[in-house]
Structure 1
């Protein structure tokens, strides 16, 4: 129940012109205590917001904190401090390109991400704006990468201000999950093929992480020497929220995942039709950063394989193949034995290749997927394994790809796989 203020919002349109009136009323039948008119026509409000976004990019390029904070609502000290931290983080990244672009997305859809406290603070004179952060990391990206930002703008004292960030379910992939979103200071270490973002207080581990990353990239390049940039942006910060963002609807899986490879496109996938693939970013679970070197090496090689295969991974590529191929590359050095495989598989019944819906329900599917890829490589050659993977860019069914690339049916492929797994268990 509203005991103090009743907020009434109405939109008027006359001859194409639009304005919104926010009327603040006292309880009961009291007269309005205040009225604020906000011109929400795209050619007016939109231009003002575009100007703010343009200044934001320029502030980062010039490293001008004053210009950055000039468009920020500083009435919330915590948000203002977060904005200062974000600015500092952004200025540490080696951007070859950076822009913030207002993106056309349904206002009704965006309203679902409005934080209630900001709505209340601005008495409804607030909007959630879809913003594409288009950027290119120098020495890593050959194409611009689009990531999403759900910016909340509030209207006060005759102008729009950045008042917060959108929140809620169904956020687009990567929202609040970029390295500059870290709640703490970051540091950046790099070499010719890797840009790694770490928390500032972990800077001393940067050299070791780069060495592991280079080894992983070399392992991947031996299997996949071309068809991708061969370079990667790696985020390994201790702010767990950065990693958890990618598991908003499956928090139970966070503890089971060491790292994640996230594909990005020329436009935000959730806001665009058929955007072109741009690159894959790798984000580490901070709980895994203290893992033994051998484990970190495996995880890096696995995720870098996803990055290498990103350009030829599509909606029809089976999960068992995506994950199995990454394990195939990570274990290419041959550091495994039959006893270890038997122990890992345990009593798992190997029947049919798992569907995408089933795959992550059983962790041992990673092992069977790896063995399926090993079987194809050993029986038909590594080039055929890669061609089999690439075949799903043209065809959607395992049977069709198996016939074209391997000359066998899906049933025959599964039988050969079962026989191969049985042999590994002996």
Structure 2
């Protein structure tokens, strides 16, 4: 198994399709075609590093009954680093089923049998779904359907502008890159646009990329980065500001997963609304006045994690208002430091209050009262 997996990684790096397909069941035309497509997709991404690691055998009597007594089904970690995109090697998961040939060699007979057992959000990558086109720009990689050259060109231009904006606006600068996935499929990585709450309104979302997979070191996995997946229903509505919002999530992803939702979305919206090359400046003074009268006056506190997306029409403006206040009152360096500590340690309300008290001298409740006082409420 290990030799086969090593050969597959070597084949991609060396552009050797024959080597990649050498251990695929030649009698399974559907699998062979899918693996050939996968090879063509993988070649486009430009992996600086690529390897496949055999994990745990997954016994399933139904697979033995289907393929025979030599059946070996195994979870596999694909460890990779895309040149110019991933700051560190990252991992995704897949499942392979092998059987032994009469001549004693092993062959791959399925690459989908274990899909339902794999961790949600850490498999079904852009290169797995259909034939794709990969297009690059400075610090940007965009993936679209194979025949969507015009869409790819448009998204690259928007993404380049957005990456520059986040790099210039986020305190301390951000030197990372943006990976944008814009495919027709509604379920890619951790994004599921088949769900009613996402299907209509969501434009895009940043999905986690893992340094270690869920269950390897921790239940959640160790998160390294984020890739942005665009809602296929709303591709025409995505602009540079939308991508700047999502790339702010990418920039802050390495901090951790525990920052309150109002801080996560408020920071991204704050950067999204700043002046940006190629985008018309927004009338933020008028917007601030509107948020104060329409939402702040009726609110009882900052948006909570549990109800944030249920009340998105008010949660996003209030979160922007809170982060806008913090950036102007305390400065970007202090806010970025606060964000990092909240994301790393703010797993409980008590911890969040402690961290905010330490950095700002107020809790979340105190911040809400400060917003109301600034608005004269």
Relative to the length of structure 2, the TM-score reads 0.84
How many angstroms apart in 1 are the aligned matches of 2:172 and 2:24?
44
Distance 2:119 2:324 in 1: 37
**For 1:199-257, what per-residue CA distance to the aligned partner results, in whole angstroms no more than 9, with x for missing partners?**
221112323222211111122112226475421222222233326x5339x82333132
Let me know the Cα RMSD of the aligned residues: 3.0
- Quick check: which has more Rg, 1 or 2? 1
In structure 2, relative to structure 1, the CA distance for the partners of 1:420 and 1:79 (3 Å cut) is farther
Relative to structure 2, which stretch is displaced further, 270-279 or 66-75? 270-279
1:198 paired to 2:140: no
Q: Select which of 179, 184, 187 maps to 1:238.
A: 184
Query: Do the aligned residues in 1 keep the contact of 2:181 with 2:228 (CA within 8 Å)?
Result: yes
In the aligned structure 1, how far is the partner of 2:327 from the partner of 2:373? 15
CA–CA distance in structure 2, aligned partners of residues 272 and 214 of structure 1:
35
- What are the within-5 Å matches in structure 2 for residues 17-416 of structure 1? 49-103=1-55, 105=56, 107=57, 110-111=58-59, 118=63, 120-123=65-68, 125-157=70-102, 158-162=104-108, 163-165=110-112, 166-168=114-116, 171-176=119-124, 178-183=125-130, 185-224=131-170, 226=172, 228-242=174-188, 246-247=191-192, 251-255=195-199, 256-273=201-218, 277-291=223-237, 295-312=238-255, 314-333=256-275, 335-336=282-283, 337-338=286-287, 341=290, 349-364=298-313, 365-392=315-342, 393-396=344-347, 397-416=351-370
Other structure's SS at 2:122 match: coil
Contact 2:208 2:226 in 1 (8 A): yes
Aligned residue for 1:190, secondary structure, equals: strand
Q: 1:115 to 1:271 in 2, by over 3 A?
A: farther
Report the CA distance shift for 1:254/1:214 in structure 2 as closer, same or farther (over 3 A): same
- 1:30: which partner in 2? none
The 3-state SS of whatever aligns with 2:149 is: helix
CA shift for structure 1 position 120: 4.3
Native 8 Å contact 2:291 2:317 kept in 1: no
Do the aligned residues in 1 keep the contact of 2:171 with 2:336 (CA within 8 Å)? no
- Superposition deviation, residue 151 in structure 1: 2.2
Counterpart contact for 2:76–2:93, Cα < 8 Å:
yes
Between 320-329 and 196-205, report the one with greater CA deviation: 196-205
| Uncovered stretches (5+) of structure 1, i.e. residues with no partner | 1-48
> In 1, Cα distance between the equivalents of 2:290 and 2:24?
56
> More displaced, 123-132 or 252-261?
123-132
List gaps (5 residues or longer) in structure 2.
276-280
Return the alpha-carbon distance in structure 2 between the equivalents of residues 115 and 202 of structure 1.
Answer: 43
Tell me the CA shift for residue 155 of structure 1.
3.8
Q: Measured at CA, do residues 126 and 357 of structure 1 come closer, stay the same or move farther in structure 2, by a change above 3 Å?
A: farther
Deviation at 1:61, TM superposition (A): 1.7
Q: Determine if contact 1:260/1:284 at 8 Å carries over to the other structure.
A: yes
Q: How many residues align?
A: 360
1:261-292 deviation digits (Å, cap 9, x = unpaired): 1232322233233865432222222222222x
Q: Would you say the 8 A contact 1:391–1:405 is kept in 2?
A: no
In the aligned structure 2, how far is the partner of 1:194 from the partner of 1:148?
24
TM-score between the two structures when normalised by the length of structure 1: 0.75
- 2:278 corresponding residue in structure 1: none
Q: In 2, distance between residues paired with 1:115 and 1:135? A: 32
Aligned to 1:41: none
